[in-house]
Amino acid sequence: MSTERRSFRREPEERRREQLITAALDLMAEGGPKAATVRAITDRAGITPGLIRHYFSSKDELIRAAYRYSMERMTAQGAAAADAVAGDDPLAALAALVRSSLRPPVMEGERVRLWAGFLHMVHREPAMREIHEATYLGFRDEVQRRIARLPHVTGPDHARRLAIAVNAVIDGLWLEGGTLPGCFAGAEIEEIGLTAVSAILGVALPGSAGEV
């Protein structure tokens, strides 16, 4: 009985934390880091400013949580698309991961603006740098885990090096496609990504220019 009551109380608190995080992200996407004041965040989340310390020890902690949330959510969305591929085809799973990383909701102008707003903090604050490293490795590990399933990959170090290169291609296309969507026609970014990743891996991913 007591365990059930504790779980019931924690759930609303987690929702409140997420509301504060998403409010901070929305404000930063709209007006940059300076727009995410404590007053604006709490107004957007619908709580009083005094309650913010019940969920976060400081505004800096909230901003760090928002950065981690934003980056981990993109990784989770890409991984979910790959995991949803029917069957046990590693090429299809990789293609799904590339595609989902280069289309909405992962590749959007708002996501790029958020990333750019956080980037100067990453270089200035050790705690933000640690989050950046952890979330970069989180996505790269998702890529590496799927690359390791390819029959011609010789081991973990080989898979890691390929994953670094694939991640770099995805990052570059994500940045340009999210910043200048009008410069690319239809699914052009996805197709370029699939073709480039295919060349790196020495395979033909479904949807790439080299697919037979």
The tens digit of pLDDT for each residue in 53-98 reads 889 999 999 999 999 999 999 999 988 988 887 667 899 999 999 9
Q: What percent of the chain has pLDDT over 70?
A: 92
Confidence of residue 52 (pLDDT cuts 50, 70, 90): confident
Mean pLDDT, the chain, integer = 89
Distance CA 27, CA 42 (A): 11
Rounded to 10°, the helix 59-83/38-45 angle is: 50
Please determine, for residue 142, whether its predicted confidence score (pLDDT) is greater than 50: yes
